[in-house]
Chains A and B, each alone.
Chain A
């Protein structure tokens, strides 16, 4: 564990450093408060600090105040070192943001025990952060496939569309649906159906670029967003996805399950400034057409009339 010591008095600093190194800490020893605050405010700075009260440039409570001003970063556990005569200042010290204080000259055992308290607090924080991250993941991802969930993929698509319009490029929207998935569940059982969905998710993820998005849209429906996708290659990319799914059956615990997928493709640039909901409806209609055409194929959603590529909002403002 790293710890920062700030004390302008060299003897005291040396004593602290040695005591803590012996206790297994990795010590950074500094001689003034300003340097200490700089180190502690860094994103990956030490999370434990032992600060002398009286220091040049910035005193211990001053360091505490600076550190507490940061937000959304790991907690820094700070212990102030004060002399016995200044006990009435303890309240002020704690109110500056210090977690604890220790009177000088310190007792090595007490010092180590108090720092262990700090370590417990930091461990607690780590566990809470870990739990929060887990919750965040669960709130944004589909439990079965670990793909983005419906809410998030739609949100990402909305943002991507806005960006592609700004940058005058095209986003490809693909609604993909496993063919005859109900039969899979009925024939091989639901656990095998789940395995098929998981395998499908993996195959989709492995065949898109790292900056594309794949989400679970519904039961056996997936939404793939290909960012900045050249319209000339949109269909070819969709075909690749289709082949990746169909090229080999899925090995499940209930046997080998052959799968295919139907896809509805929409290239945003061909549709001008139509709202997201309409684009999804059109892509869904293309998917329906692919199903009608015998499944295991891609159909492209085409606007009936050439679209007006001018921004309707700009148009309105002009007239």
Chain B
């Protein structure tokens, strides 16, 4: 797991950074991952609906919330994608919403199985 992450410096998520963020508290880490698993689908759905509505304000709020979660989990790429969408929402660049959302979704969906695997590993 660590090996694959070391291969790509701008990784989907960085377990070492994550561990540092929770100060090596594996129980807390597991807690956070569980919260993410629970909360993530709702947040993604809210973002999808916001994008479909074309309302900049809604996109900003939803993307911001998702970005917060992702960055706390050291999910650099996904967090950056959410940040991009938040910025687009702020600027009202509606035409680019869909594309940016797709990027958030792809990154986040790629993240999920990695987190799952990580939870299992931490669990051991």
A residues sitting closer than 8 Å to B (CB atoms) are 8-12, 14-15, 18-19, 22, 54, 83-85, 104-105, 107-108
Contact = CB atoms under 8 A, between A and B. Distances in A.
A14 B32 contact: yes
A83 B68 contact: yes
Contacts, number: 58
Given A8-B65, A19-B23, A105 B39 contact: no
A83 B79 CA distance: 11
B28 A83 contact: no
- The 3 A-B residue pairs with the shortest CB-CB distance, nearest first, are A105-B71, A9-B68, A11-B35
Given A18-B25, A105-B72, 6 more contacts: A9-B65, A11-B32, A11-B68, A11-B72, A12-B68, A54-B64
A22 B21 CA distance: 13
B51 to A, nearest CB: 18
Give the dominant DSSP class at B's interface: helix
B: interface residue count bin:
20 to 34
Contacts of B25: 18, 22
Given A8-B65, A54-B64, A108-B23, A15 B72 contact: yes
A19 B74 CA distance: 16
Contacts of B67: 83
16 contacts: A8-B65, A9-B65, A9-B69, A11-B35, A12-B69, A14-B28, A14-B35, A15-B72, A18-B25, A83-B68, A85-B87, A105-B68, A105-B71, A105-B72, A108-B21, A108-B23
Contact of B35 (A10, A83, A85): A10
Contacts of B32: 11, 14-15
Contacts of B35: 10-11, 14
Main SS at interface, chain A: helix
Interface in B68-87: 68-69, 71-74, 83, 86-87
B36 interface: yes
A22 B86 contact: no
Interface string B44-66: 00000000000000000100110
Given A12-B69, A83-B67, A83-B68, A105 B74 contact: yes
Nearest to B83: A85
A215 B65 CA distance: 64
A11 B21 CA distance: 13
Contact of B36 (A11, A19, A104): A11
B22 interface: yes
**Could you say which of A8, A9, A12, A85 has the most chain B C-beta atoms within 10 Å of its C-beta?**
A9
B5 interface: no
Contacts of B31: 14, 18
Contact of B22 (A12, A15, A84): A15
